[in-house]
Amino acid sequence: NAGVTQTPKFRILKIGQSMTLQCTQDMNHNYMYWYRQDPGMGLKLIYYSVGAGITDKGEVPNGYNVSRSTTEDFPLRLELAAPSQTSVYFCASMGNTEAFFGQGTRLTVV
C-alpha cells in the first residue's frame, strides 16, 4: 500500500539511550517532515527535507538529527534521550497536491 511507514510504533527508552525512528515513503515525494506532538498540543516541526541530501532545522531541533540519503527514507536520530523527548513522533511526506502522515511513534523516556 502506498503511504508513509514509520517504525517502531511504540518504544520505551531509558535516559541517555539513543535510538533511530525510521520513516519510509513510496510516493516519490521530495518533501518530508518530522514532527512531535505532546498531549493535547499541536505539531512541532523538528526537521524537514526538500530532497535527497538536503535537510533543515525546524522549530525544535535540539537533541535530534536527521539524514536524507534517498528520496524514500528520512530517519530521525535521538541522541542521549531525555524525559522531555517523551512524545508522539510523526513523519510526513508531501507532494504537489497531497500530503500523508505516518501512523506515529509513541516514545516514552524514563
The CA distance from 107 to 110, in Å, is 10
Stretch that binds another protein, among 11-19, 51-59, 63-71, 75-83 (CB under 8 A): 51-59
E strand or H helix at 58, and its extent? none
Q: CB–CB of 94/33 below 8 Å? A: yes
Looking at the DSSP bridge assignments, the partners of residue 89 are: 36, 105
Rule CB under 8 A: is residue 101 a binding residue for another protein?
yes
Site string for another protein, 12-31 (x = CB under 8 A): -------------------x
Contact call for residues 21 and 103 (beta carbons, < 8 A): no
Does residue 59 interact with another protein by CB under 8 A? yes
Reading the block at residue 98, the C-alpha cell is 497531497
15 or 57, CB closer to another protein? 57
One-letter amino acid at 102 equals: G
Please tell me whether residue 89 binds another protein under the rule CB under 8 A: no
> Least Å distance between CB 31 and another protein?
6
What's the min distance (Å) between Cβ of 37 and another protein?
9
State residue 21 phi and psi, 5-degree precision.
-95, 130
| Contact residues for another protein, defined by CB under 8 A | 31, 33, 35, 41-45, 48, 50, 56, 58-59, 90, 92, 94, 97-104
